[in-house]
Amino acid sequence: MLYWEGKELNRMRRTRAAVCLTMVLFWLVSLSGASAAQDESALFEEAYAAWLSPKEAGLQSGMYALHTGGSAYVPDVAPEVTPFDEETVMPSAAGYAFSTSDAQVVAVDETGLMTGVADGEATVTCISPDGAETAYAVTVSQSNLPERAKAFLYVARREYLKNQRKHLAKANEYTIWYYRSKKEVGWCSVFTIWCANASGTDPIDEQDAEGTPDDAVVFFREGQVGNQYDGFQKLNRFVGIPRPGYLVIYANMKNTYLYTHVGIVTAVADLNDGLYQVTTVEGNMSSTVKCYTFIYDSGKANAQLTTDTRDDLQRNMSAVPAENQTDPLTQYELSTDYFTVFGFGATWL
């Protein structure tokens, strides 16, 4: 009897020890997970604090990039990025003086409004009422982002950093603003519309697309991805080459649905041979705002396909090599294995 009781006692001790070890390991893993979450949150907060508006970036760097034909205020007297449905408050330029080193490249008026006249470089000088002088190195190029596109990218990235990939309800600040109710819907397109409005642009109706000037920065107000696609198609602005500020529309290889999701292209690196490293900010991915970076192969572009040729969709996305995965706040793993880039909505030209 004592022998069997001893065996049972040893078994119970081993079981208790195993349970204790499991609890300790779980506690350590929980601490590690909590520590990792805190570290990531700190990274988000640091990046959010460092993320600058176009005005702030100009003030800090002493440089400014203008799109050819575009206009922007000298950073000293520029307004903050303001939603279209709110009143823009313009700082006073009273007592300021402005000049340009080359009016054939950059013109500047008495209010501090700079205009990119022709490609090139010039120095714009601002003298404040107290006599402080600031010089800005201004470059003008057709490839520089228009001001609306700059503000759009600023807002999109700001929202990502603010949300920190936290789970959002189906009825959230973006959908409530759009629908004026707590309607629960997929909101990837709504997110792009919210960002457009928050950056100072009034999105247009897709049915009103035709006749839009070539130099306009364009966003569409429809909450359906298909309407976004239709609008850019009408303007011959649905393309196969990405640029920052463009919208990316994905197709679903699993059911060959031509337009299943939309996001915002925030950065593009040309890798040559038709390959691009693309970074996006996308709403309604796993019920949150996410940032992705992937390789896109423009040699397998799908932008010219139609509803009659959807079976010809090509896979054109791949993961960034591990050695180039350097940003801890972007997701390098592809969102799914059945998405492909259908094309890009050229919001600006």
Predicted TM-score of the model (pTM) = 0.88
What's the whole-number mean pLDDT along residues 34-47? 84
Residues 215 and 266 in one domain: yes
Residues 217 and 326 in one domain: yes
Residues 96 and 212 in one domain: no
Per the model's pLDDT, the better-predicted residue between 22 and 99 turns out to be 99
| Bridge partners for 307 per DSSP | none
Residues 231 and 282 in one domain: yes
Indicate whether 49 belongs to any domain. no
Other Cβ atoms within 10 Å of 188 Cβ, number = 23
User: Could you give the dihedral angle defined by the CA atoms of residues 234, 237, 238 and 239, in that order, rounded to the nearest 10 degrees?
Assistant: 150
Task: Give pLDDT, residue 3.
Answer: 43
Indicate whether 180 belongs to any domain. yes
Contacting residues for 297 by C-beta, under 8 A, at least 6 apart: 274, 275, 316, 317, 318
% of the chain at pLDDT higher than 70 = 89
Q: Which domain holds residue 186?
A: 147-345
Residues 91 and 165 in one domain: no
Indicate whether 259 belongs to any domain. yes
Residues 133 and 173 in one domain: no
Residue that is last in its domain, among 97, 123, 141: 141
- Would you place residue 150 in the very low, low, confident or very high pLDDT band (cuts 50, 70, 90)? very high
Q: Please report, for the domain that includes residue 83, its CATH number.
A: 2.60.40.1080
CA torsion sign for 32, 33, 36, 38 is negative
DSSP 8-class letter at 77:
G
| Bridge partners for 267 per DSSP | 279
Q: What is the DSSP string of 191-227?
A: HHHHHHHHTT--PBPGGG-TT--TT----B--SSHHH
Enclosing H/E stretch for 12:
helix 2-50
Task: Give pLDDT, residue 90.
Answer: 93
By the 8 A CB rule, do 315 and 256 touch?
no
Task: Give pLDDT, residue 259.
Answer: 85
Residues 77 and 124 in one domain: yes
Indicate whether 238 belongs to any domain. yes
Indicate whether 274 belongs to any domain. yes
Indicate whether 128 belongs to any domain. yes
By the 8 A CB rule, do 299 and 274 touch?
yes
Residues 162 and 261 in one domain: yes
Residues 120 and 249 in one domain: no
- Judged on CB neighbours under 10 Å (0-12, 13-18, 19+), 257 is middle
Residues 133 and 74 in one domain: yes
Does the pLDDT at position 18 exceed 80? no
Residue-wise pLDDT tens digits, 185-196: 889 999 999 999
Residues 84 and 171 in one domain: no
Domain count, the chain: 2
Provide the mean pLDDT of the chain: 90
Residue-wise pLDDT tens digits, 107-130: 999 999 999 999 999 999 999 999
Indicate whether 134 belongs to any domain. yes
Residue that is last in its domain, among 141, 158, 187: 141
Indicate whether 316 belongs to any domain. yes
Residue type, position 308, single letter: D
Residues 185 and 225 in one domain: yes
Tokens linked to 20: 């204790």
CA 302 to chain centre: 22
Residue that is last in its domain, among 110, 141, 172: 141
Does the pLDDT at position 29 exceed 50? no
Tokens linked to 36: 């990792």
What's the whole-number mean pLDDT along residues 236-245? 97
Does the pLDDT at position 169 exceed 50? yes
DSSP 8-class letter at 20:
H
> What beta strand segments (E) does 11-53 contain?
none
